[in-house]
Structure 1
């Protein structure tokens, strides 16, 4: 495993501040949002749909402390973009949004370095404030929305969103989830795609390498993986990029790519300051400076694709090579139960 200390040169302008929100494209946004509220301690915070004048797409926004998830579904028959995405990938992450400063500069730089801009900068505004947005393509069908606040925004989420239409009387009776912010978001790639993807973040978004691990450390008797973590200059946004390594049997990273129809978000890690109260069966990793506590859910939809992680850090900013291997072994058991721990070819 390697920890990188060289951030490179500080970008002359522009800044990636933090994760802003994660958008999921799902078959039934209302029910998906309820699942995360009931199981993980989120609460409905904003809504956009027919009642607010959004005629094509419905959005349910849920929140827990600084974590914002948006679940979106098509409202009408014949929405080819969302329909094809669902058919190919199933329910999953479509977009990872970052809050930024000087969006125009960041987009200009990204374009110069070869990034595909899906949507050029535009402005959204309502009576609560004004934001500028743009969208760039990253791995597979996943995108990044960049969001810059042009004035202090006083609304519930972003311009165009209203309060949720209904209140769930069950939620106040449930225990708190104790989750605070997005720690990192992991993207799985097919074999030999990890380095090009991590290079894309370094070239186009001016990120740098933060940590990496290879198949000599993360392997079992059957399969293996490699991972590179990239991050922004301030190291507030961490994006691990995984790929399978050839082994005797199919890697779980390859299983993910098979069922996801290509690369995509494998898991979202949510930081907590009290993992003991939040979860049970915790993995522990440590060094001479601090420790790392982690636990992982099983897939949160029927396809063996996206899952969630809960993580607590105490003066430890790596990614837990020991925990990484324990997780790898646990998923491999589930992979075998699914009939997918098959001979590699």
Structure 2
């Protein structure tokens, strides 16, 4: 449209790690919500296909972007200086991993905490290389390990993705024992019995922190090396009421003329699946073993 043809934006980049950059984009049209992509670009349409709505599978945003680096503290100190991001969460090898491999991890966040950048480094001393080290070897250095895509209904999203049968494969379903112990591990109030059965059916993992619940599922690596993969997540809970706006106070559009309440979910609600790191690592180890990668 006209906004995409006439608008101007300012772009600036900061190197994160390896060849990965964090891009900042500003401009009046962006602030006003008029741009969905950079000026000069147009929506790509397959000329041979019928005009249909783009398939989003219910994905609403990028929740976080995880990077693998050889030295966690060195990278964190650099990013503190370069971006001003602060520590949001931290996990050590004692919290996660299997008997064979592990990691140390820290999550960095911007001031609003709407941009979350978890970072992993490999640990040593196991019977096999850490999967983080395998990534660094096969990627030829630091890079993005996975992108977490957020949905408000992970059950519908995963079903739609499975039905589409294209692009990537999801990690194998966890063992039955995982789901048998799920409600006792998370607490009876975290998920209903029906939700646990849907998780079991679709191979979805669940975890919680003291604020909310996290549902997640991972793809297998999207290429022929054990590097980049994707995650689909849903966060449940942690809703806070936002300050009222003039239109809310007037009651416009609200049932019965009552003020319209607006709520927002706090970033990182439910955590980052610390309780599932062991299960994820086990699945990756099995994938790598079947693929002949990183053999014991």
Q: For 1:293, which of 189, 201, 215 is the aligned residue?
A: 215
Provide closer, same or farther for how the CA distance between residues 156 and 205 of structure 1 changes in structure 2, counting only shifts above 3 A: closer
Q: 1:38-53 to 2 correspondence within 5 Å? A: none
Q: Secondary structure of 1:166's match?
A: coil
Q: For 2:49, which of 169, 179, 191 is the aligned residue?
A: 169
Query: Could you say which structure has the higher helix fraction?
Result: 2
Query: Could you say which structure has the higher strand fraction?
Result: 1
Contact 1:186 1:239 survives alignment (8 Å): yes
Q: For 1:328, which of 258, 278, 281 is the aligned residue?
A: 281
Q: Secondary structure of 1:218's match?
A: coil
Q: Secondary structure of 2:282's match?
A: helix
Query: Is 1:278 paired with 2:157?
Result: yes
Aligned to 1:113: none
Q: Secondary structure of 2:217's match?
A: strand
Alignment: residue pair count: 218
Shift of 1:154: 3.7
**Greater C-alpha Rg:** 2
Q: Secondary structure of 2:9's match?
A: strand
Aligned to 1:16: none
CA distance in 1, matches of 2:108, 2:210: 24
Provide closer, same or farther for how the CA distance between residues 220 and 168 of structure 1 changes in structure 2, counting only shifts above 3 A: farther
Contact 2:207 2:270 survives alignment (8 Å): no
Aligned to 1:183: 63
Aligned to 1:311: 233
CA distance in 1, matches of 2:100, 2:146: 22
Q: Secondary structure of 2:289's match?
A: helix
Q: 1:131-280 to 2 correspondence within 5 Å? A: 131-151=9-29, 152=32, 154-164=34-44, 166-167=46-47, 169=49, 172=52, 177-190=57-70, 193-246=71-124, 247-279=126-158, 280=202
CA distance in 2, matches of 1:243, 1:195: 9
Give the TM-score normalised by the residue count of structure 2.
Answer: 0.68
**Structure 2 spans left out of the alignment, 5+ residues:** 159-201, 238-268
Give the TM-score normalised by the residue count of structure 1.
Answer: 0.58
Task: Please give the root-mean-square deviation of Cα atoms over the aligned residues, in Å.
Answer: 2.4
Q: Secondary structure of 1:278's match?
A: helix
Q: Secondary structure of 1:161's match?
A: coil
CA distance in 2, matches of 1:306, 1:217: 23
Q: Secondary structure of 2:135's match?
A: helix
Shift of 1:203: 1.8
